[in-house]
Amino acid sequence: PFGATMRAAVLSALGAAALAAGAEAVRPGAVGAIGDALAAEVAEVKADLASDWRTARTTIEGIQAEVDAELAKPAEDGKQHWALLMAGSNSWGNYRHQADVYHAYQIFKRAGLDDDHIVVFHYDDIANDSENPTPGQVINSPYGNDVYPGVPKDYTGLDVTAANFIAALKGDADAVKGGSGKVIASGAKDKVFAAFFDHGGPGILGVPAGTGPYIYANDVNDALKSKYEAGGFKELTFYVEACESGSIFDGLLPANISTYVTTAANPTESSWGYYCPGMNPGPPKGYNTCLGDLYSITWMENVDSLDSAKKETLLEQYRIVKQLVSQNHTYRQGSHVMQYGDLSIDSERLSAFIHGSAKEEDEEVPARAAAPNPTVGEGIAQRDADLHSLYHVYLSKPEGSAEKKAAFKAFLAESTRRAELDR
């Protein structure tokens, strides 16, 4: 552009000088006049260009300074999204809980959330269990794809403890022992989504066998309160799959700490397993265990079926899940899905929590191929699901084989243990 401007200025100067000197006869001295005029025009153009360049440089430097200032701001100046996911069980009979966690992880990855903002607890013993008909893969429904790829191994095996879960929820990196050390390091502008999948009882949530004491209701609520009071989040949503899961929050969770909770069951009932052997719908051939939990696969398949997570509110999803889990409010099977805490949050869209760190909540979230929402089919009470799986493992083994004898022994041991607990 500068060269074109110069050429135009030179031509203009030559033309003006030529006209002044006479178009047909150039008088003595005319060439000198043309040269003087040209020199003056060139000098003027150079001066203009120098001024324009100084202005442009000043503008560019100003923009660069603004960009540098933005990049230098600490991360907490911008809103972030976080996810905490835990499966509190181990063993093949509890396959469904870790499958639930892996499915949840894939939902957040599709939404654009980076692994450094997702903390995952899972014992990690089902993908390569000898009973798995597709080694190295995990499915959460008869219609679904492998949900195991890419799942972070933040806390696995004996590191899946109550203490580590509470520390991760609070964002207390100094309190965790083992694992990756990742915690929910959220700030006052951030939104957090937590999800738990396992067995439970009045006032307790389970942990994998052999990893230590249970997670207690008071510890969960104290962690939520202290994190809120410390400016640890703007809003937090917590979905809990467990028997008697309502007892963790009923009468304990304040309504004024910007925390919204839904649970699979009320304080006194079982939650339910789903996609179980011998039931309709059941797992694919070769699977002798339940693939998922009714409440959990219902809310996750609901997310999967949406074109965008911004098209449904938390309340709309709650009503859909409640209807399906209750078998259209008949409760022939299923449980009472509950809400606790700050219910004003349920007017927000799912995309307010199921989203990536660097995206705005009104952006589209990529959808996966829609899985069917569960029909009102057959489920099994959570506490019976383990025994149901052990029985189907036994049925799947060849008659007279050592594997069948071992499966029967495991089934008998669990039956005996349950009988003793019922006394």
- Tokens 């952006």 correspond to 363
What are the backbone dihedrals phi and psi of residue 144, each rounded to the nearest 5 degrees, phi first? -90, 165
- C-beta of residue 350 within 8 angstroms of C-beta of residue 313: yes
Helix (H, G, I), strand (E, B) or coil at 204: strand
388 catalytic? Reply is: no
Exposure pattern of 406-419 as b/e (b: 16+ CB <10 Å)?
ebeebbeebeeeee
CA angle 197, 198, 200 (to 5 degrees): 125
What b/e readout covers 249-272, taking b as 16+ CB neighbours within 10 angstroms?
bbebbeeebbbbbbbbbbbebbbb
Q: Are strands 380-381 and 235-241 parallel, antiparallel or unpaired?
A: unpaired
Q: In the sheet that 215-216 helps form, which strands lie side by side, from edge to edge?
A: 200-201, 204-205, 215-216
CB 377 within 8 A of CB 281: yes
| Residue 338, number of CB atoms within 10 A of its CB | 19
The encoded tokens of residue 154 equal: 């933040």
CA separation for the pair 403, 364 (Å, rounded): 50
**243 in catalytic set:** yes
Residue with tokens 């209807």: 323
Looking at 243, 276, 336, 355, which residue is catalytic?
Answer: 243
Nearest alpha carbon to residue 279 among 186, 395, 213, 378: 378
Q: Pick the catalytic residue: 199, 336, 355, 388?
A: 199
Q: What is the DSSP string of 44-73?
A: HHHHHHHHHHHHHHHHHHHHHHHHHHHHHS
Helices (H) and strands (E) counted in the chain, each on its own, are 9, 12
Q: Say if strands 191-197 and 272-274 run parallel, antiparallel, or are unpaired.
A: unpaired
Tell me if residue 398 falls in helix, strand or coil.
Answer: coil
Question: What are the residue numbers of the active site?
Answer: 199, 243
